[in-house]
């Protein structure tokens, strides 16, 4: 049997055409959109959950195209590009069997035979950058006359150099170390800061000075990148460099889409190339809990896959069946590779909201008498656990302890974003809790819960972390020296810093790399925060003017990538590249002087490095 499927955006609607070469009796069209669907014509909505929908179609005659017109139930989520078209589509037949519909072209598109990305217009050539072609830009660069060709790499030894050589080899780059290479002398200078390094590039060879491992690694990465961006001949001069922020993060949502462990290792290499040093591993959300924990095996065993007949249906491109879980051995591999690359791994579990998968499997975490009808912004009912239920604490305490113990970073991110409005308002148990604890609204209740979880972590020597909402509540929220991630903008981070929290800035308008690069309907990605062209990734200040008082509390910058519309690992690449350069520049560079055109020009020189590695990139001209 042959099925064809096409879909286009027409104003506010999504027009789907399905055709089968065999007659089908009243099939059910299952699919997911970015948000809750509604049917305009061509079928009857039987069921929906978040962006997932099931639409009963009339009988399909053989070879006769059938048109179903959909829209988002909430007109605020008007479709703006191809990522809003149906994902994971399939038909369910009367006997319960399923037929996958062909996948629409997904991800940032390329011209035939070209790497991914929108191609530059004919005649348009990339701007040149005549200075040091390095991202992030160093603290200081004193050029001298001449160039140092490094056709055979460098002759040097030592563990951090070996780690950079291994990174180059894994990624198909020319050897970084070889006996016939240019002399690379190491000078230990204990007076330097951990991340700092100094490189003297002279016609006779290179000297790399640093206090220890981190600085040597960064200096070697700089040499590797310069070799790639300066056509194999390093400009002579002296680079003096150190990191602005200790936390230079990249997040990946591995809950909405399961990325193979090998992809995570590839991402760690990409991060290391640009001196990022924290991987925020988001493996739990409404759709799945993917970490293979011993204390809660039912959780990952029943939610690692989603789709037809499973506790979580094919939301966000889940299709008939998709997913996977991360074993303790996978975790060890990711941690070990991270350590080799100077990257620490931050695990995140998600409570109290974004917990639909948890509630689908673990009984007793909601108040059975709760009359509330709240739904998450993604359209999930029942995606919040209830802190007035003893089962919630019995479930979370061992889970937190186990997950925290698996990761050497000593920090556990608890989630805590996007509590639906009016959560727990219909719960008698929470009403009693409010009276007992003097809490007045859901922010207070959430703050009370987060503070209690944070206290448990702190007692185990683990630092709590959470999204910005954890600081809400008249009671001050999470407290306990928690590290907070400011994502809706910077104002919540500034407020949290003033309340005594360390904060990582990840404003969606600038560093949410799931946002489309452009407003072009042929492009790919979300847009609820903004369209984020490369230039906008640096058009902001981690410590904004007027907030200088909290400078010491801003400990870092982090890019995020959410995977609602990702159904194949590679689709992530051209969303990150080249914008990860802007994240790295903001997170590392002491000199905040690079402007948008400067970044664009540098990205042009670094583009061939992405290509050599085989990492897709967006080429928005």
- When asked if residue 530 is in the footprint of ligand ACM (CB under 6 A), the reply is no
Question: E-assigned strands of 529-614?
Answer: 554-559
Report in angstroms how near the CB of residue 290 gets to ligand ACM at its nearest: 18
Contact 492, 471 (CB under 8 A): yes
Contact 541, 592 (CB under 8 A): yes
Question: What Rg, from alpha-carbon coordinates, does the chain have?
Answer: 25
- Whether cis (ω within 30° of 0) applies to the bond prior to 262 is no
Q: Which of 292, 418, 564, 571 binds ligand ACM (CB under 6 A)?
A: 418
Report in angstroms how near the CB of residue 284 gets to ligand ACM at its nearest: 13
Report in angstroms how near the CB of residue 247 gets to ligand ACM at its nearest: 16
Long-range contacts of 55-60 (CB under 8 A, 24+ apart): 55/28, 55/29, 55/30, 55/31, 56/26, 56/28, 56/29, 57/18, 57/26, 57/27, 57/28, 57/29, 58/26, 59/23, 59/24, 59/25, 59/26, 60/18, 60/19, 60/20, 60/23, 60/24, 60/27
Instruction: Give the count of residues interacting with ligand ACM (CB under 6 A).
Output: 4
- When asked if residue 487 is in the footprint of ligand ACM (CB under 6 A), the reply is yes
Contact 337, 71 (CB under 8 A): no
Residue in 235, 223, 233 with CA at minimum distance from that of residue 197: 223
- When asked if residue 564 is in the footprint of ligand ACM (CB under 6 A), the reply is no
Q: Report which secondary-structure segment, H or E, holds 307.
A: strand 305-307
Q: For the CA atoms of 24, 27, 32, 35, what is the dihedral angle to 10 degrees? A: 130
- When asked if residue 197 is in the footprint of ligand ACM (CB under 6 A), the reply is no
Of 35 and 601, CB closest to ligand ACM:
35
Report in angstroms how near the CB of residue 310 gets to ligand ACM at its nearest: 24
Angle at 84 between CA 79 and CA 88, to 5 degrees: 155
Residue in 555, 571, 562 with CA at minimum distance from that of residue 526: 562
Query: Can you read off the two tokens belonging to residue 236?
Result: 């002579």
Report in angstroms how near the CB of residue 508 gets to ligand ACM at its nearest: 6
Q: Which residue's CB atom is positioned nearest to ligand ACM? A: 417
Report in angstroms how near the CB of residue 513 gets to ligand ACM at its nearest: 12
Instruction: Report the alpha-carbon distance of residue 539 to residue 407 in Å, rounded.
Output: 34
Report in angstroms how near the CB of residue 317 gets to ligand ACM at its nearest: 18
Of 536 and 564, CB closest to ligand ACM:
564
Residue in 565, 589, 562, 586 with CA at minimum distance from that of residue 576: 562
The DSSP bridge partners found for residue 466 are: 484
Instruction: Report the alpha-carbon distance of residue 181 to residue 227 in Å, rounded.
Output: 12
Q: For the CA atoms of 336, 337, 338, 339, what is the dihedral angle to 10 degrees? A: 50
Report in angstroms how near the CB of residue 418 gets to ligand ACM at its nearest: 5
CA distances from 40 to 37, 69, 317, 433, 463 (A): 10, 5, 21, 44, 50
Of 201 and 515, CB closest to ligand ACM:
515
Report in angstroms how near the CB of residue 260 gets to ligand ACM at its nearest: 23
The DSSP bridge partners found for residue 456 are: none
Report in angstroms how near the CB of residue 487 gets to ligand ACM at its nearest: 4
Of 326 and 487, CB closest to ligand ACM:
487
Of 241 and 285, CB closest to ligand ACM:
285
What's 211-257 look like in SS3? Answer: CCHHHHHHHHHHHHHHHHHCCCEEEEEEEEECCCCCEEEEEEECCCC
Site for ligand ACM in 448-467 (CB under 6 A): 467
Count how many Cα atoms sit within 13 Å of the Cα of residue 99 in the half-sphere of its side chain.
Answer: 19
Residue in 412, 439, 437, 407 with CA at minimum distance from that of residue 425: 439
Report in angstroms how near the CB of residue 467 gets to ligand ACM at its nearest: 5
Instruction: Report the alpha-carbon distance of residue 112 to residue 466 in Å, rounded.
Output: 43
Report in angstroms how near the CB of residue 572 gets to ligand ACM at its nearest: 16
Report in angstroms how near the CB of residue 115 gets to ligand ACM at its nearest: 29
Of 56 and 417, CB closest to ligand ACM:
417
Of 292 and 418, CB closest to ligand ACM:
418
Instruction: Report the alpha-carbon distance of residue 282 to residue 246 in Å, rounded.
Output: 20
Of 241 and 286, CB closest to ligand ACM:
286
CA distances from 610 to 273, 275, 579 (A): 10, 15, 12
- Residue 530: alpha-carbon gap to chain centroid: 16
Of 198 and 510, CB closest to ligand ACM:
510
Of 199 and 515, CB closest to ligand ACM:
515
Q: Which residues does 114 contact at the CB level (< 8 Å), separation at least 6?
A: none
- When asked if residue 417 is in the footprint of ligand ACM (CB under 6 A), the reply is yes
Report in angstroms how near the CB of residue 80 gets to ligand ACM at its nearest: 18
For ligand ACM, the binding residues (CB under 6 A) are 417-418, 467, 487
């Amino acid at each position: 049997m042959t099925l064809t499927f096409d879909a286009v955006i027409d104003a506010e609607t999504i027009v789907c055409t399905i055709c089968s070469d065999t007659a089908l009796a009243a099939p059910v069209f299952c699919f997911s959109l970015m948000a809750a669907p509604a049917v305009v014509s061509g079928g009857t909505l039987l069921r929906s959950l978040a962006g997932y929908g099931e639409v009963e179609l009339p009988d399909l005659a053989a070879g006769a195209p059938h048109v179903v017109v959909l829209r988002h139930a909430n007109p605020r989520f008007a479709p703006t590009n191809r990522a809003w078209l149906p994902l994971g589509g399939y038909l369910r037949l009367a006997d319960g069997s399923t037929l996958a519909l062909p996948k629409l072209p997904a991800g940032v598109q390329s011209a035939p035979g070209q790497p991914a990305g929108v191609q530059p217009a004919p005649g348009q050539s990339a701007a040149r950058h005549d200075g040091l072609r390095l991202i992030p830009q160093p603290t200081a660069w004193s050029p001298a006359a001449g160039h140092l060709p490094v056709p055979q790499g460098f002759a040097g030894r030592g563990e951090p150099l070996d780690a950079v050589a291994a990174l180059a080899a894994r990624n198909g780059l020319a050897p970084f170390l070889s006996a016939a290479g240019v002399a690379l002398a190491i000078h230990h200078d204990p007076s330097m800061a951990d991340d700092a390094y100094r490189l003297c590039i002279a016609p006779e060879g290179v000297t790399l000075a640093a206090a220890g491992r981190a600085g040597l690694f960064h200096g070697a990465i700089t040499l590797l990148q310069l070799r790639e961006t300066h056509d194999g001949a390093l400009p002579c001069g002296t680079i003096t460099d150190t990191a602005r922020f200790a936390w230079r993060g990249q997040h990946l949502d591995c809950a909405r889409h399961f990325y193979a462990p090998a992809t995570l290792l590839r991402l760690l290499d990409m991060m290391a190339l640009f001196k990022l040093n924290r991987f925020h591993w988001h493996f739990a959300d409404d759709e799945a809990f993917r970490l293979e924990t011993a204390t809660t095996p039912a959780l990952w065993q029943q939610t690692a896959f989603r789709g037809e007949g499973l506790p979580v249906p094919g939301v966000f491109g889940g299709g008939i069946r998709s997913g996977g879980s991360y074993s303790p051995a996978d975790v060890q591999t990711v941690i070990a590779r991270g350590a080799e690359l100077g990257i620490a791994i931050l695990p995140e579990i998600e409570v109290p909201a974004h917990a639909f998968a948890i509630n689908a499997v673990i009984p007793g975490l909601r108040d059975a008498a709760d009359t509330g009808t709240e739904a998450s912004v993604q359209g999930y009912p029942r995606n919040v656990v209830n802190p007035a239920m003893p089962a919630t604490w019995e479930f979370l305490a061992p889970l937190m302890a186990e997950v925290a113990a698996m990761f050497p970073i000593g920090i556990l991110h608890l989630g805590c974003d996007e509590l639906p409005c009016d959560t727990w308002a219909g719960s008698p148990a929470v009403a009693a809790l409010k009276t007992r604890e003097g809490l007045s609204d859901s922010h207070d209740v959430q703050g009370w819960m987060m503070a209690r979880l944070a206290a448990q972590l702190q007692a185990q020597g683990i630092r709590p972390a959470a999204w910005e909402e954890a600081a809400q509540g008249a009671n001050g929220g999470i407290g306990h020296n928690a590290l907070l991630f400011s994502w809706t903008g910077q104002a919540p981070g500034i407020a949290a810093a003033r309340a005594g929290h360390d904060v990582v800035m990840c404003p969606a308008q600038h560093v949410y790399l799931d946002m489309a690069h452009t407003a072009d309907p042929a492009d790919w990605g979300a847009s609820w925060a903004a369209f984020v062209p490369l230039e906008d990734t640096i058009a902001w200040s981690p410590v904004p003017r007027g907030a200088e008082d909290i400078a010491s509390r801003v400990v870092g910058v982090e890019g995020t990538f959410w995977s609602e519309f990702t159904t194949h690992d590679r689709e992530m690449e051209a969303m990150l590249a080249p914008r990860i350069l802007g994240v790295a520049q903001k997170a590392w560079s002491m000199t905040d002087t690079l402007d948008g055109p400067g970044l664009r020009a540098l990205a042009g020189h670094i583009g061939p490095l992405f290509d050599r590695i085989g990492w897709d990139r967006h080429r928005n001209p």
